[in-house]
Amino acid sequence: MGVRTGSMAGVVMLASFWRGKKVFVTGHTGFKGSWLCLWLAKLGADVTGYSLEPPTDPNLYTLAGVRHGLDSINGDVRDLDNLCNAVRSAQPEIVFHLAAQSLVLRSYRDPIGTLATNIMGTAHVLEAVRRVDSVRSMINVTSDKCYENKESVWGYRENDPMGGYDPYSCSKGCSELVTSAFRNSFFGSKNEASRKTAVASVRAGNVIGGGDWAEDRLVPDIMRAVLGQKTVVIRNPKAIRPWQHVLDPLYGYLLLAEKLYCDGNRFSGAWNFGPAEDDTISVAELITKVIELWGNNARWETDKGEHPHEAGFLKLDCTKARMQLKWKPGLGLARAVEWTVDWYKAYGKAQDIKQATLNQIEEFEQIINE
């Protein structure tokens, strides 16, 4: 995939903000955290990561050498004392909280672990931030599944009620409530002593992209099958989701963190970062697109077994981010799928994964500034 030329004015401005900023990222060894940390390092930020070991083998964190661009701390967000010590030592200006148990099916197998990580883990990060004076902006990354899902054809807005049928969705709704409680109690505009710390939460759609190897997640399941020349087996082909490339919501998070840092509580609160409405399609439609791009006689079939409940229809309304942040997705679904397949093809050919990943970040920067 070539890198296009064009105006880089916006990227220069973005880099000028992030250069030298002290950033603390929980969950930096995960799929989304690895993409974020690579981008932050490229922008010149001074990054400290706090996380357990990478959750899968292979994983993007190792393949792309993410550890070489940051100070990595091995730790669990459920360990309040260790986390507080890490934040106090790092003295970050900006905090991104991504550490989570992020899988719906695993939450059925381990509900207590999921709730402990996603609810108390969030509370611990917020408490660690509360105990230091350095943090200007903090973003808690939750999920579109935090909403009380009524299978509505309308996209959910940030002020819609929280809910959760399964333990994972429940935990993300609770994470949002914990964030709101801390913001109102300790970081809100009424608390003069804490006004310097602006706190937001962000909710993205179903994120795809190179380097995701999580179990029971659609694109990793597809890629494991096609790389092994096996038939892809799909649980719920009729389910409809808002699909987007990982770089699109991450771009939103970076924009929001800068706004929180510079303009404080005016941008505090919850934010949706989802794809364009036309990119909310079924699992079957997405896998068909992936299979066509992959080629090599790749094929799929439906798993006829019994499976736990998963939402059938889910869509986000991102009007707030579009109007107030001037954010919009840089990639349509077609290009998002193409980039994802290109990345896994590069992996299958044993190419330089760090360079392949950085190439996509660089091209994305050019796209959003054209």
pLDDT at residue 5, rounded to an integer: 33
Paired with 282 in beta bridges are: 240
pLDDT tens by residue, the chain, 370 residues: 433 333 334 455 577 899 999 999 999 999 999 999 999 999 999 999 999 999 999 999 999 999 999 999 999 999 999 999 999 999 999 999 999 999 999 999 999 999 999 999 999 999 999 999 999 999 999 999 999 888 776 788 999 999 988 999 999 999 999 999 999 999 965 554 445 899 999 999 889 999 999 988 889 989 998 898 888 888 778 888 889 999 999 999 999 999 999 988 899 999 999 998 888 888 889 989 998 999 877 788 887 666 565 555 678 999 999 999 999 999 989 999 999 999 999 999 999 999 999 999 999 999 988 7
Amino acid, res. 88: R
In a domain, 3, yes or no: no
In a domain, 359, yes or no: yes
Dist CA 370 CA 368 (whole Å)? 6
Strands 280-282 and 240-245: what pairing? antiparallel
Q: How far is CA 358 from the centre of its chain?
A: 17
User: Residue 327 carries which DSSP code?
Assistant: -
Dist CA 265 CA 173 (whole Å)? 22
Q: Containing domain of residue 358, as a range?
A: 9-368
In a domain, 2, yes or no: no
Amino acid, res. 44: G
In a domain, 225, yes or no: yes
CATH number assigned to the domain comprising residue 52: 3.40.50.720
Phi/psi class of residue 82: alpha, beta or left (left: φ > 0; alpha: ψ in -120 to 50)?
A: alpha
Global pTM exceeds 0.75 = yes
Q: Of all helices (H) and strands (E), which one includes residue 123? A: helix 121-130
pLDDT at residue 3, rounded to an integer: 35
Cis? peptide before 58, omega within 30° of 0: yes
In a domain, 47, yes or no: yes
Angle at 170 between CA 165 and CA 174, to 5 degrees: 150
State the total domains in the chain.
Answer: 1
In a domain, 242, yes or no: yes
Strands 240-245 and 137-141: what pairing? unpaired
pLDDT at residue 153, rounded to an integer: 66
In a domain, 139, yes or no: yes
DSSP 240-289: EEEEEETHHHHHHHHHHHHHHHHHGGGG-EEEEE---GGGEEEHHHHHHH
In a domain, 4, yes or no: no
Paired with 71 in beta bridges are: 48
Written as six digits, the tokens of 272 are 């949706």
